[in-house]
Every structure is written in C-alpha cells, then in structure tokens.
Chains A and B, each alone.
Chain A
Amino acid sequence: MENRIRYARTHVTRNEDLIFERTSPGKSGVALPPLDVPSAPANQILGANLYRDDVEGFPEVSELEVLRHFTRLSTWNYGVDTGLYPLGSCTMKYNPRVNEVVARLDGLATDHPYTPESLAQGCLKVLYETARCLAEITGMDAVTLQPAAGAQGELTGILMIRACLAERGNPRRYMLIPDSAHGTNPASVHTSGYEVRNIKSNAQGCVDLAELGRAMTEDVAGLMLTNPNTLGIFEVQIREIADRVHARGGLLYMDGANMNALVGVARPADFGVDVMHLNLHKTFTTPHGGGGPGSGPVAVKRFLEPYLPAPVVEQTPDGRYRLDSDRPKSIGRVRAFYGNFGMAVRALAYILANGPEGLRQTTEDAVLNANYIMTRLRDVYELPYDQPCLHECVFSDRRQAARGVRTMDIAKRLIDYGFHPYTAAFPLIVSGALMIEPTESAGKAELDAFIEAMRAIAAEIDEDPQFVLKAPYSTRVSRLDEATAARTPILRWKPQ
C-alpha cells in the first residue's frame, strides 16, 4: 500500500521525463488554419539537395502534454514569487504583474523593428521616456538602451571610453579593476581591447587611494568601479577617486549593478562618473526569467554622447519621435535593432508605478532590510568587513569552516528551510563569502524566518556538521555530480 502511494506522488511531481521520451508519432499540439493560397511543392521548389523531409528525433506530443510537462518542470524551480531570494548582487525583487501585461499589448509586442517611424510613435515614445527617466535617476546626460545585458553595457561603455581617448590622441593600454569586481568586468575590458590591471582593496574593502595613485599612469584608460561595491559598501572617497583618474587623463566607469542602493538617494553623475551601465533586470524589476533576457542601458556625460551606439531615439520640436542614425563618431552597433525593447516597457512601468517618492522608499527599505539581517546574524557568522552596509551584507564562513562546513554547504541547507540561498563564495576577497541581498521585496516576517533559519543552521553545524554537509534533503534531486557532468559532457538527448 505504502509503495503505491509513493508511486503516484512520484509520477506527478518527481519524475517528468524529457519531452523526447514522451513522443509518439502522429501527434501535434497545433492545428493550422486551411491554406488559402495554392500549396507550393517544397521538394520541387527547393530541389532534392535542399529539401528536408524529416527532423530526426523531433518531439510529437499533444497540447495538453506540453502544458503538463512544463507545468511540472516549473514546480521544481524556485522564484521570487515563491519566497525570499536573497541572492547577493542579483537584486531578486518583485516583478510586478502589470509590467507583463503592458509589455504584451498589441501595438507594443507586435510592432516590427522596421516599422516606419510614423507608425511606431508609441514604441519610440516608450524608448525615449525610459531613457529620459534613467538619465534623471543617474544624473547623467544621455542614455542608450541598445545593450542586451549588463555585460554588453560594460563593453559598450568601455568602447566609448576608447573612442573618446583615441580621438584625444591615445586610446591607452590598460583598464584598472578592483579585485572585488564581478567577473564580467575583466572579461568585457578584454573584449574591448584593453589589458586588465587589478588593484587591491584596502582594509575597508574599498579602493586604496595610494594604490590607485601608483597604478593610474598615462598608459591607463580609466577605472572600472562598482559602487556600492560587492561588499555593499559605499566608496566614500569616490570623488577623490574620480579626481585622481581624471587628473591623469583617464575616465571613470561605474558598474551600476548595485543601483538599488542609490536610486533617489544619490546620483552617480555627482560622484564624478563619466559612463555607467544599469541592469534593468536588477534595479528596475524586469524578470530574470531563469537567466535572461536582461537589459544593460548605458548612461554617459554629455562629452561622451557622440560615441553612443547608433541609432539614438530623439524627440523633434513638434513632439514626435525619430531614430537618429547619422552619428559619425558612434562606436557602431552592439546589437541589431534598438535593444531589448520589451524590457524598457517593463522598467518604465515600474518607474511610473513608484514615482519619485516610491523609488526613494524602495531604496530605503532595501537598505534597512540588509542592515537588519546584518545586525541579527553578526553574532553567529563572521563579518569580515565590520561596517554598516547599504543594500547587501557579506559574511564569511570562517567559524563554520573550522567545523568543515563551507558557505556552499550552508547555502544548500538553507534550501531545506524553504529559502533560496544567498550568493556563495563571491566576492573573492572574502574567504567563503555569504553575500546576502534581501531587496525591498521582503517583509519583516519573512526576514525573521530567514534569520531564524540561518541561526538554526549555525547551531546544526555546531552539533552535527556531517548532517549539514549532505543537504539539501527536501528537493527533487539531491546534490548533483558536477564533476562527472564536466568530465564526460552530455549536452543533448539522443535516441536510445
């Protein structure tokens, strides 16, 4: 009896096959309307060499099977809608449902990118207004929405720095990056043709001015800085940093991944930042979608505006919108068309829903939540940089590591308590980092439950570290063998 009950449960929630294993010939999940033109003989038109009769292995399933398949898969996921998702540096905040509705409106979702400007005024208005709002929020003078994601925004910004310096006579050779930076920073710098020079952080986890002074030579194009940095700490000397970079003819790039700590409170333009990117999927609530699409607008000071990727959306004196492609100094295109338009729709809807007071309140709540967690966990987890944080706080696993339990193990055990883990083992300047960003989307009750869970895990580690090392116990699969996956990669299904 017990076995049968377990079997039924297993069938629905635990053991969904690959769609290819559900296939039976002759099924389909769509029906087409009758063809209202003469059918074209594909094999004759294309010829025997080009005509394809069959896509081998392709699935054949009904609509209901597709619906159930993906519904079941979805139940194995955890999202912001499920609960607290305190993944540091990822800003996993609520994705408002109205954003999804407006992004799918006929006229916005259905306009083709080559629609004549006169018939695309609504879409162009959305792009223009989004750029205008982001310029106001950052204090910068001009914004491009073309970059498809944060990393592409970085590349765009660095290429603009390069174009500007080249025009001044020398593009220079190096870009400085603090050792606390996200991995995309050095990768983007490399793609834009610069060499990376890492600079060490000081004891407060911030840029060391003396070290910067030594590194900032005439060969250096600039500094790429995340502010607040990946420890959730504001670079208090940001103005001095900007001055030193500028004094040597370099430019200051700001990675705006952590703007959720600043919106409505302070503006990067006032810090001396020359160019920066934003992540609409972080600060501006466009959904992460299981890993994209993102959107990485770039904001610049006036003197960099000529180098923006083309085209740029403009408003004409009569109030109409147009695309300006005649930009001789532009770095070129970084992506076809105008960027992830659908993400601009959602970000604009979020900004409009909040207004200036709402955005400021949002920032305050995000910072309050992070400080609350920091205060209530600091007696059990070590705080390597002991100072107030902004939107996220970073602990070290040092005390737990002494008992053989590392940050990733604590993260896995947190899953059993019903929470998504924090970011484990980043930033690299903290040994065994636990990087916690609650965002404003967590209420006190949820935070208290999270704090209790983290404290309970610390107690478990004291009592029975072996037990924690085998977590999670509650998920569909237990810890997966990543070594075998990498040694003998299986990257697609093949027929038996």
Chain B
Amino acid sequence: MRYLPNSPAERAAMLEATGRRSIEELFNQIPEYLKLRGQLNLPGPLSEPEILEFFREAASRSSREYVSLLGAGAYTHYRPVVIDALISRGEFFTAYTPYQAELAQGTLQAMFEFQTLMTQLTGMEVSNASLYDGSTATTEAVLMALRITHREKVIVAHTLHPEYRQVLATYVQQQGIEVAEIPYAPTGQVDLPKLEAALSPETAAVVVQSPNFFGALEPVRQVAELAHQRGALLIVSIAEPLSLGIIQPPREADIVSGEAQSFGVPVAFGGPYLGFLTCREKFLRQMPGRLVGQTTDAEGRRGFVLTLATREQHIRREKATSNICTNQSLCALAATIYLCLLGKGGLKSVAEHNLAKAHYAAAQLRAVPDVGTPFAAPFFNEFVVKVPGSAEELLAALREERIIGGLALEQFYPELESHLLICATETIGRAAIDRMCEVYRRFQARANTQGSAPEIQSAPASRN
C-alpha cells in the first residue's frame, strides 16, 4: 500500500521488539467471536490514475456545462487561484486544532485576522473562529440568546432559509422551546405588525435573515426596535455576506450569524461551508465555538492562543455553551485569504457587480409579458420571479438551453407556485441572462396560445 511507510522487514523487527510472534497476536484482546471473518466487501485497491478516472466519470455527470442561477444559501462566486495555492500548503491543511500554540502560530494568527474581518464586515464587536455552516450558526445564535435572556420563546421570520428553520427545530425539539414563525408582508419582508403582536416579555430572540430567503433586505432597524422594546435580542442571519460590501451591516442586532461560503469556498454540493457568529462584547462568555486571542510570550513578543476555553465542551463537558468541538478552520482560512485579496475596493466592486447583474436580470425579465417580480423590497443579487405557467416546466425548458433557471419556491412555500428564486452573481454573463429571457419569451408565448397565462399583479398571500 503506497501510503504506508513500513517495509515487511521493518514490521518484523518492530513486532519482535514487542514480543509478539504474529500480527494477529496484537489483536488478542478482541474476543475471537467479535472478529471479522474474511474481508470487507469493498472496491479497490485503485491506483492513482484509476482514482482520477473514477471521480472524473462522476464529475462528468454533473451540471458543469450549465449556467446556474441557483443561490438560496449557496453562492457561486469567482475564487482567485491564490486561495487554493495557499490552503493547499501542508502546514495549513494537515495541522490539527491549534492547542499547541507555539507550533500553530500560523493558523492562530490567520484565525485572529478572520475574527477581525468578520467584526468589520458585520459591525459587531467580537467574532468566533467559525462554526459548521449558516444553518447551525443561526441555531447556535438562538441557543445563545436563550442562555442570555433565560427566556423560552423564539420568533423566527418565515423568510429565514427553510433549511435553517428545520435545523433550529431539530435542535430545540427536546428543550421545551417554543418557536413561532412570522409571515411575510406583500413586500417580501417580515410583517412588522404581526411581529409586534407576537412579541411578549417571554420572547428571548427575534431571528430575521437579511438579505432574506427571497433576496429581500429586511427592515433591520425597525425589527430591532420592536424586539428591544420587549427585552428580546435581535439575531440577524446572513447567508450572502458579500452584500455587506455595499449594504450597511445590522449594527442594531445583538448577534449576527450566518454563512460565509461566498468568501472563497466552493458550492461543492452543499459543503463544507463556513458558519460565522459575531456579537456584542457583553455576550462574549455565552458564545459557542473557538476563540483566538492575542497575548505575549515570555520575551514580550506578540503571539496568539485559543482563549476562554472554559466555555467549551472539553473542559465544561455537559455544562458547555455548546457541544461543538471543531470549527471550519480551513474554510475560514480560505475566506480570510479571499477577503484580503479583494480588500476594501475589491469587495465593493464585486458587490456592485452582483447588484448590477441581478438588477439587469430582473429588469429584463420584467420586460417579458406576464413575468413579474412580486416583491417590492430592495434586493442584492437574488430575487423572486413570478413566471407564466408551471415553474417546473419553465425550468425544464431552460435546461434544454443549458440553463439552471433558479429554485422553484413551491417546495418550501406552497403558496408560491409559479415562483422562482433567481440569483445572478458576478459570474453570470449578460449573454446568459439574455438567453434566459429568450426562453421565458418563448415559454410565455406558448402558454399564451394555450390560453393559460395567469395574472401576475396580486402579491402572494402570505401563509404561515
């Protein structure tokens, strides 16, 4: 086996040193009746060329020849080649969690830089060194709010990513926590009067996503006022943090959590991604996850260590702030490199390109008869379209043109049949957008001749 460094002679010498006569003796402590008889039924061994062939074949059965307008919590952005060049350095990617600080200053300093970048972007005072992904980070933010407020009710906007809401439900199902959902208004934003009515002195936190699942920016300031009036915390979840390059961060929030996959991490069929959590300094001790802090060594030189570890499971065990052990260090490193490469100006420019592409796409689509964008709220790079006829049929027609035309919303919002969620990042060319609109036109014309063009004026009823 090519990965194993010992030769048969070396194995024999080592075995002799241990006083065993056979390798089998090393496993004497395992009772015979529990041992595997025969071999595992597995494929392989494969040589390197065969491994490449196996995965190239799998990769060929993919959407790689398609233009994709999918977003919905995972965003395709250009990844500068420097990212992979750097995160592929063995010193980074084959290292463990930096518990031995003297041998891990590289990882630790990079995480300190990551924490700084995330506080700058989100307008918060402290950041942890990352969590699994946006769904679990948002859930951890809620658990944190429950600990801080000692209350047991949570209000969640219906426009929070449906899968984030599902993860939250899984985590709180055994803890007697009541989660209420607030419907959206005709603008595609959280319904403020309904939110106000739902708030009570038992509300621990209000969770909104901005831009929300529909791409709409939420009125964070008003939501904060309502939440704070009742002593509840405001958690703002952000799934597309690139928006923060041109959009004000939710400074009124108490905790900001979300998904930073956009920053140099590939969409990779759903993971690994990069959860983040930032908050006000006064909540520091209730934060989950690893934290890197600055200190000095015996000679007074600046250095970095994992700190405030007494919050964590390996010390506090069942009383820890979270069961989380690992962070997403290598993804956080990728994000740090990405953000440093972009810098202040690049971040703004990429964000402006996203805004321009999505607004061009929305305008072109609105110009197609019977096609509309029902939500009036401002958006960044993602928006909802009402299409003439069946969303699934339109998506199939788009696939014939090698376009994945977005996400049919009906699966998550039954009232939104014939609605697609479309995302246009900087990677989408004008030609592809124009081609997409052409398909819409043909589709609309066909639907029209079949006499089934639906009306598009009314905003969707918001159901809960």
Across the interface, name the chain A residue whose C-beta is closest to B170: A332
Q: Is the CB of A79 within 8 A of B95?
A: yes
Using Cβ atoms and an 8 Å threshold, which residues of chain B touch A112?
A: 63, 68, 70, 74, 76, 267, 269, 404
**A480-B353 contact given A45-B359, A113-B267, A336-B167, CB 8 Å threshold:** no
Q: How far is the CB of B50 from chain A (nearest CB, A)?
A: 8
Is the C-beta of A449 less than 8 angstroms from some C-beta in chain B?
A: no
Contact with A along B24-60 (1 / 0, CB 8 A): 0011111101111001111111101011101111111
**A184-B323 contact given A79-B95, A490-B293, CB 8 Å threshold:** yes
Q: How far is the CB of A390 from chain B (nearest CB, A)?
A: 7
Is the C-beta of A453 less than 8 angstroms from some C-beta in chain B?
A: no
Q: Is the CB of A20 within 8 A of B269?
A: no
Using Cβ atoms and an 8 Å threshold, which residues of chain A touch B129?
A: 291
Using Cβ atoms and an 8 Å threshold, which residues of chain A touch B401?
A: none
Using Cβ atoms and an 8 Å threshold, which residues of chain B touch A374?
A: 18
Q: Which of A36, A102, A291 has the most CB of B within 10 A?
A: A291
Q: Is the CB of A148 within 8 A of B96?
A: no
Q: Is the CB of B295 within 8 A of A485?
A: yes
Q: Is the CB of A114 within 8 A of B295?
A: no
Interface size on B, as a range, is: 35 or more
Using Cβ atoms and an 8 Å threshold, which residues of chain B touch A3?
A: none
Q: Is the CB of A70 within 8 A of B86?
A: yes
Q: Is the CB of B3 within 8 A of A441?
A: yes
Q: Is the CB of B92 within 8 A of A28?
A: no
Contact with A along B292-334 (1 / 0, CB 8 A): 1111111101011101101011111111101111111111010
Using Cβ atoms and an 8 Å threshold, which residues of chain A touch B271?
A: 148, 293, 335, 337-343
**A137-B5 contact given A80-B94, A116-B399, CB 8 Å threshold:** no
Q: Secondary structure at chain A's binding surface: helix, strand, loop or mixed? A: loop
* Distance between Cα atoms of A381 and B204 in the complex (Å): 53
Contact with B along A32-60 (1 / 0, CB 8 A): 10011111101001110111101111111
Is the C-beta of B182 less than 8 angstroms from some C-beta in chain A?
A: no
* Distance between Cα atoms of A114 and B350 in the complex (Å): 24
**A107-B60 contact given A189-B318, A289-B329, A349-B55, CB 8 Å threshold:** yes
Q: Is the CB of B343 within 8 A of A60?
A: yes
* Distance between Cα atoms of A172 and B416 in the complex (Å): 41
Is the C-beta of A121 less than 8 angstroms from some C-beta in chain B?
A: yes
Is the C-beta of B197 less than 8 angstroms from some C-beta in chain A?
A: no
**A108-B341 contact given A288-B96, A342-B272, A479-B102, CB 8 Å threshold:** no
Contact with A along B411-434 (1 / 0, CB 8 A): 000000000000000100111010
Chain A contributes a number of interface residues (CB within 8 A of B) equal to 199
Is the C-beta of A193 less than 8 angstroms from some C-beta in chain B?
A: yes
Is the C-beta of B407 less than 8 angstroms from some C-beta in chain A?
A: yes
Is the C-beta of A467 less than 8 angstroms from some C-beta in chain B?
A: no
* Distance between Cα atoms of A67 and B86 in the complex (Å): 7
Across the interface, name the chain B residue whose C-beta is closest to A370: B26
Contacts A374-B18, A492-B116 known; list 20 others, CB within 8 Å.
Answer: A16-B109, A28-B345, A32-B346, A54-B344, A55-B245, A57-B116, A61-B340, A70-B86, A101-B52, A111-B269, A115-B404, A116-B399, A125-B61, A289-B328, A341-B270, A357-B39, A371-B20, A375-B18, A491-B112, A491-B292
**12 A-B contact pairs sorted by A residue (CB < 8 Å):** A18-B113, A38-B360, A67-B86, A70-B333, A73-B109, A152-B323, A189-B318, A289-B328, A336-B163, A337-B270, A345-B55, A420-B103
